[in-house]
């Protein structure tokens, strides 16, 4: 352990997530560069680290950065474009046609930059991305020092990114090789969904996942219609098809999963599958209810994602984890089914585990990366305060995020974004709106 540290973050509460449900009062987190060195009482930190720069957070909870485990961040530029529609109508008649008209490197870059700003202001420090032009995405995340797992997209129809199956594989593998070894950006294989990807592509993806040791990020069992269509076309439910293709294993990140049998839940637990719950998107599109309490009870690693802004319509992880907790209670008819500590864990450490980053982020522990968020709990909206963890889940809004660090670098200070021109982002978003509406 180093004898000197760079920064000491002194907070009213440090909520490390591991151990679960713990809120350490009047504690500090000592940082050396990008790494957490120690968690200790503020008084001890003052005596031990006399020369470190100190950040006082007297009414704040210091938590791990939130992990948004499923996003389509370039789609911030389509926020509110086609609301109040069922999934397939929304996708086939509105989103895909709009994307065909405007998608390109500039659209992806500007959408990701807008998303980074929104996520940082809301305490999210890592996302699991799924969209086209992954090379542009990865470069944009790196330029802004934001942690991301960038999905390499596969789909069976031509797009602005690739025109054929072989081109998808060739270009995606080149992106993986280009960014291999980066500290903040890694890749996953991101086949869109069982209904848009053929068995031949899935077979190649499974081999690559094994060879490259990277996750497979897949929309799965999002709607009842998807399941019924699979029965008609393939004779089995989509999950069974993925099992037969060898994709149901510890690398699978299965997103949505609103249509689950008890046997499928048990199979996920045995195989080590991670499930990403996107409650607000599922509610808005009337896709169904992920059986979150059953998944938790079976021991499945359950993470939380917002989905894209075209279907949610925000990247607010505080809102998402609260909705996840409340919805799970209603679906299970059990008020204790999805408690506050578990909700916070699902939005941090479980998300990190799903992305293969559990040894690096997701909790405040020595040796981990210093991805940290300070939340001001001294405001009127969170008074009086009896339990800091419960208050974070059930009463806190993203506007209470005051400070954010990624790998020890401050990204938000006293509520203001560092090194991001918000006026320029607003102007770009307005320009894209005009262009999309004109076409």
Neighbours of 213 (CB within 10 A): 9
Q: What is the total count of domains within the chain?
A: 2
pLDDT at position 246 over 60: yes
Q: Which domain holds residue 279?
A: 66-354
- The helix or strand, by DSSP H or E, that contains position 168, with its residue range, turns out to be helix 165-179
CA distance 70 to 219: 9
Residues 342-353, buried b or exposed e (16+ Cβ, 10 A)? bbbbbbbbbbbb
* Bridge partners, 151 (sequence order): 188
Q: For residue range 275-284, list pLDDT tens digits in order.
A: 999 999 999 9
Question: What is the CATH classification number for the domain harbouring 55?
Answer: 2.30.40.10
Asked whether residue 177 is domain-assigned, the answer is yes
What residues contact 393, with CB distance under 8 A and at least 6 apart? Answer: 321, 322, 325, 340, 343, 344
Asked whether residue 398 is domain-assigned, the answer is yes
Contact 274, 298 (CB under 8 A): no
- The helix or strand, by DSSP H or E, that contains position 94, with its residue range, turns out to be none
pLDDT at position 1 over 80: no
Asked whether residue 415 is domain-assigned, the answer is no
Task: Clarify whether residues 40 and 85 are in a common domain.
Answer: no
Asked whether residue 412 is domain-assigned, the answer is no
pTM value is 0.97
Task: Clarify whether residues 340 and 396 are in a common domain.
Answer: no
pLDDT at position 91 over 90: no
Which residue's entry shows tokens 């500090």? 28
Question: What is the CATH classification number for the domain harbouring 342?
Answer: 3.20.20.140
CA 259 to centroid of chain Cα atoms: 21
Asked whether residue 435 is domain-assigned, the answer is no
Q: For residue range 357-373, list pLDDT tens digits in order.
A: 999 999 999 999 999 99
**Would you call 208 helix, strand, or coil by DSSP?**
helix
Task: Clarify whether residues 302 and 339 are in a common domain.
Answer: yes
Asked whether residue 14 is domain-assigned, the answer is yes
Task: Clarify whether residues 73 and 46 are in a common domain.
Answer: no
Q: For residue range 327-343, list pLDDT tens digits in order.
A: 999 999 999 999 999 99
The band of 438, judged by pLDDT with boundaries at 50, 70 and 90, is confident
Counted residue by residue, the chain has a size of: 439
Task: Clarify whether residues 241 and 316 are in a common domain.
Answer: yes
Task: Clarify whether residues 202 and 140 are in a common domain.
Answer: yes
CA distance 71 to 287: 17
Asked whether residue 215 is domain-assigned, the answer is yes
- In sequence order, which ranges of 186-250 are alpha helices (DSSP H)? 199-212, 224-234, 238-244
Task: Clarify whether residues 59 and 144 are in a common domain.
Answer: no
Q: For residue range 288-328, list pLDDT tens digits in order.
A: 999 999 999 999 999 999 999 999 999 999 999 999 999 99
Task: Find the angle CA(414)-CA(346)-CA(311) to the nearest 5 degrees.
Answer: 80
pLDDT at position 230 over 60: yes
**Would you call 376 helix, strand, or coil by DSSP?**
strand
Cis? peptide before 429, omega within 30° of 0: no
Task: Clarify whether residues 262 and 316 are in a common domain.
Answer: yes
Which pLDDT belongs to residue 3? 57
Cis? peptide before 369, omega within 30° of 0: no
Asked whether residue 46 is domain-assigned, the answer is yes
CA atoms within 13 A on the CB side of 251: 20
Please give the backbone phi and psi of residue 130, each rounded to the nearest 5 degrees, phi first.
-150, 95
Sign of CA dihedral 214, 404, 394, 360: positive
Task: Clarify whether residues 215 and 247 are in a common domain.
Answer: yes
Estimate the crossing angle of helix 422-438 against helix 105-121, to 10 degrees: 130
Contact 149, 215 (CB under 8 A): yes
Q: For residue range 154-197, list pLDDT tens digits in order.
A: 999 999 999 999 999 999 999 999 999 999 999 999 999 999 99
Neighbours of 94 (CB within 10 A): 16
Q: For residue range 106-160, list pLDDT tens digits in order.
A: 999 999 999 999 999 999 999 999 999 999 999 999 999 999 999 999 999 999 9
CA distance 229 to 57: 53
- Smallest Cα–Cα separation from 243: which of 270, 225, 223, 222? 270
The band of 2, judged by pLDDT with boundaries at 50, 70 and 90, is very low
Task: Clarify whether residues 73 and 48 are in a common domain.
Answer: no
Task: Clarify whether residues 106 and 29 are in a common domain.
Answer: no
- Smallest Cα–Cα separation from 251: which of 310, 187, 333, 294? 187
CA distance 28 to 14: 7
Task: Clarify whether residues 176 and 324 are in a common domain.
Answer: yes
CA distance 61 to 11: 6
CA atoms within 13 A on the CB side of 149: 24
Neighbours of 53 (CB within 10 A): 11
């Amino acid at each position: 352990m180093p004898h000197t540290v760079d920064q000491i973050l002194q907070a009213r509460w440090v909520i490390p997530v591991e151990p679960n449900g713990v809120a350490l009062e009047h504690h500090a987190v000592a940082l050396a560069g990008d790494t957490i060195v120690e968690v200790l009482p503020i008084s001890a930190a003052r005596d031990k680290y006399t020369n470190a720069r100190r950040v006082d957070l007297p009414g704040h909870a210091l938590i791990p950065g939130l992990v948004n485990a499923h996003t389509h961040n370039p789609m911030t530029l389509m926020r509110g474009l086609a609301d109040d529609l069922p999934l397939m109508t929304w996708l086939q008649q509105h989103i895909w046609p709009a994307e065909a008209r405007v998608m390109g490197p500039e659209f992806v870059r500007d959408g990701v930059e807008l998303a980074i700003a929104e996520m940082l202001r809301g305490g999210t420090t890592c996302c699991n991305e799924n969209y086209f032009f992954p090379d542009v995405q990865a470069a944009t995340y790196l330029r802004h020092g934001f942690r991301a797992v960038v999905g390499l997209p596969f789909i069976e129809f031509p797009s602005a990114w690739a025109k054929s199956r072989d081109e998808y594989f060739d270009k995606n593998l080149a992106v993986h090789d280009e960014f291999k070894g980066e500290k903040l950006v890694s890749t996953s294989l991101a086949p869109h969904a069982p209904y848009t990807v053929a068995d031949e592509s899935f077979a190649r993806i499974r081999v690559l996942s094994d060879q490259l040791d990277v996750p497979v990020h897949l929309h799965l069992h999002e709607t009842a219609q998807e399941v019924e269509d699979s029965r008609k076309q393939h004779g089995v439910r989509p999950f069974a098809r993925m099992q037969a293709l060898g994709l149901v294993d510890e690398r699978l990140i299965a997103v949505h999963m609103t249509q689950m049998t008890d046997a499928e839940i048990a199979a996920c637990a045995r195989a080590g599958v991670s499930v990403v719950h996107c409650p607000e998107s599922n509610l808005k599109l009337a896709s169904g209810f992920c059986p979150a309490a059953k998944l938790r009870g079976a021991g499945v690693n359950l993470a939380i994602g917002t989905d894209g802004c075209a279907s949610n319509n925000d990247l607010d992880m505080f809102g998402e984890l609260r909705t996840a907790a409340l919805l799970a209670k209603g679906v299970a008819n059990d008020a204790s089914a999805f408690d506050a500590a578990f909700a916070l864990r699902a939005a941090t450490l479980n998300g990190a585990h799903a992305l293969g980053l559990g040894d690096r982020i997701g909790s405040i522990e020595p040796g981990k990366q210093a991805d940290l968020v300070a939340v001001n709990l001294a405001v009127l909206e969170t008074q009086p305060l009896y339990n800091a963890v419960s208050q974070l889940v059930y009463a806190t809004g993203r506007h209470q995020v005051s400070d954010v660090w990624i790998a020890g670098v401050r990204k938000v200070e006293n509520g203001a974004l560092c090194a991001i021109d918000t006026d320029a982002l607003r102007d770009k978003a307005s320009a894209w709106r005009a262009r999309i509406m004109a076409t």
